[in-house]
Structure 1
Amino acid sequence: MKYIFIINPAAGKEDSERELLNLLKERKDFDFDVYYTKSQKDATYYIRKYRKENPDGYLCFVACGGDGTVNEVINGIYGLDNVSFGIWPCGSGNDYVKYFGGADNFLSLDKLLNGQEIKVDVMTVGKMHSVNVINFGFDCHVVRTMEKVKTWPILSGKHAYTVGVAGAVFKGRKNYGRIIVDGELLNPEGEYLLCTIANGSYVGGSYKCAPKSVVNDGLMEVCMARCMPLFRFISIVGKYQKGLHLDDETMADVIVYRQAKKVEIISDEEMDLCLDGEIIVGKHFIIENEHEAISFRESKE
């Protein structure tokens, strides 16, 4: 097996990146390449090109960055034979690895090399793919604000998400569109606060939006929150962050939860859809789950 470390120099945590490079300099017991991304989507294009030029052998592409880098890597390997992806989490959020115990479990070269490969589900929207969370509504307002502030030194990671939440409170609490889950219309009134569609568990650095998720069960976790007054919203954010929202009876009137294989979103106006932190724009989206579509190298002792 050959490892290709895809490093996003703009991801955020330089110390983690530097530690990886120092470890690689000392190792001569495995085959690897290192590539620095140059622009957005570059990792996806590079992986496709690399595989075309190196058609033989098994390859593991390691995403060295945050969830955006992971998204580019999985879009690169999707549909390719004899490839997998791993993660060296040195970005601002690192949400996908939280399902597997958190970033610390993955910041070890030995654990990566000794890892176990598992098949994981992939959510597909047209020609784009996601492994963690697809969200829209309030959360997209959060991401738009987060993109503006996450490079500020004191506002990286979950702090940037918190600032995004504060900004979206004033302009993102009422959104319009129809959400159809396996043929069921979740919001006949055509309004919603937010909706998350997940295979992973976390979004925004610390928000456990999908506490019941399983990354390879063939089902997406769909959670829609209805529009609500500001004071009600403020009162439940803490429970939502801790992943208590699905089983709390006091939230049953504003939370709609389903497991699904297909979700359709229809809007009269253009809207944002966020795939692992990457925003696309449109009026009509169909999201389908592909069971165990790619291989993930889970770091192990």
Structure 2
Amino acid sequence: YACGGDGTLYEVVNGAYGYPNCEVAVIPMGSGNDFVRLFGTKEQFCNVEAQVTGIPVELDVIKCGDKIAVNQCSMGMDAEVCAKQSYFKKMPLMTGETAYVAAALQALCKKIGHEFTVTIDDGEPIKQDVLLCVAANSRWYGGGFKAAPLAWPDDGKLDFVIIRHERGRLRLFPLLQKYKKGQHLGLPMTQYVNGTKLTIHSDVPAAVNIDGECEYVNDAVFELVPKGIKFVVPQFSEFHKGRTEREAARK
């Protein structure tokens, strides 16, 4: 059982990965609890009876080097904010929310776009000015940003979100509002595709976010591992009904 938030779940998943008889369950006690949103309410996950009688389902995961993510990985502005948030959290009197605000303000004061060379699966590498790149296994991250509104963590594919950087900070705020609500898919600067591998190169070290854990790298590869973990979903979750319908549609 991962008793905590998305960070705790990340630690448990990395410990459980590779053990086929191990099942991961969550008691959501964090501030965000982004991953479990797709599966049910916090009340359902905190219901002991629903947990004990829960049904384990095989979920895909994302492999990045020797690390395993179950939710989302990213590079760009959001990863920079994630990395700086960890720094601000160490300061006295800083809460998670105030640390995030401080990190976001600092990111806005610096160069926003990132020159990345992006390759999807075995396609042609494309160098572009990017605001952010996301490899998503599920829908929400970062405390409620609905980056990948079409993602399912059991469909055998990843959702890649690439948002190009457009000049002008005034354009950024309405874009981020739409991004938080999952309303960015139809925007001209947004590319949303499915695949199994996203490769990103940066000439200078850039922040990479792996389920909320951040570091600086020049190269990152986010790769799908189908059915990588068994995840316990509480009974009465709408996810079970939807899963049956999705499996029938794929057949």
* Structure 1 residue aligned with 2:241: none
Contact 2:88–2:94 (Cα < 8 Å) also in 1: no
Per-residue displacement from partner, 1:245-280 (whole Å, max 9, x unpaired)? Answer: 11x3xx22x111111101111122222211100113
* Structure 2 residue aligned with 1:178: 117
Per-residue displacement from partner, 1:171-200 (whole Å, max 9, x unpaired)? Answer: 251112211111334743x32111111101
> Within 1, Cα distance between the matches of 2:83 and 2:54?
35
* Structure 1 residue aligned with 2:215: 280
The unaligned stretches of length 5 or more in structure 1 are 1-61
* Structure 2 residue aligned with 1:36: none
Contact 1:161–1:205 (Cα < 8 Å) also in 2: no
Do residues 230 (structure 1) and 169 (structure 2) align?
A: yes
Contact 1:132–1:198 (Cα < 8 Å) also in 2: yes
* Structure 1 residue aligned with 2:192: 257
Specify the SS of the correspondent of 2:146: coil
> Within 1, Cα distance between the matches of 2:94 and 2:211?
23
Do residues 113 (structure 1) and 78 (structure 2) align?
A: no
Amino acid at match of 2:194: Q
Q: Pick which of 212-221 and 97-106 moved more.
A: 97-106
Judged with a 3 Å threshold, the aligned counterparts in structure 2 of structure 1 residues 160 and 114 are, in CA distance, closer, same or farther, namely farther
Q: Pick which of 161-170 and 190-199 moved more.
A: 161-170
The unaligned stretches of length 5 or more in structure 2 are 237-251
Judged with a 3 Å threshold, the aligned counterparts in structure 2 of structure 1 residues 129 and 172 are, in CA distance, closer, same or farther, namely farther
Which residue, 239, 242, 255 being the options, matches 2:178?
A: 239
Do residues 67 (structure 1) and 9 (structure 2) align?
A: no
Q: CA deviation at 1:145?
A: 2.9
Per-residue displacement from partner, 1:134-174 (whole Å, max 9, x unpaired)? Answer: 011101121123224457778435x6545533332222511
> Within 1, Cα distance between the matches of 2:62 and 2:40?
22
Amino acid at match of 1:156: G
> Among the aligned pairs, what percent are the same residue?
30
Amino acid at match of 2:222: I
| Residues 129-208 of structure 1 aligned to structure 2 (within 5 Å) | 129-150=68-89, 155-156=95-96, 160-171=99-110, 173-185=112-124, 187-188=126-127, 190-208=128-146
> Within 2, Cα distance between the matches of 1:105 and 1:168?
37
Taking structure 1 as the reference length, what is the TM-score of the superposition? Answer: 0.72
Larger Rg: 1
> Within 1, Cα distance between the matches of 2:99 and 2:148?
21
Taking structure 2 as the reference length, what is the TM-score of the superposition? Answer: 0.86
Q: Give aligned pairs, total.
A: 234
Judged with a 3 Å threshold, the aligned counterparts in structure 2 of structure 1 residues 161 and 108 are, in CA distance, closer, same or farther, namely farther
Q: Which has the higher contact order (CA 8 A, sep 6+)?
A: 2
Per-residue displacement from partner, 1:23-67 (whole Å, max 9, x unpaired)? Answer: xxxxxxxxxxxxxxxxxxxxxxxxxxxxxxxxxxxxxxx111111
Q: CA deviation at 1:300?
A: 2.2
Q: CA deviation at 1:285?
A: 1.9
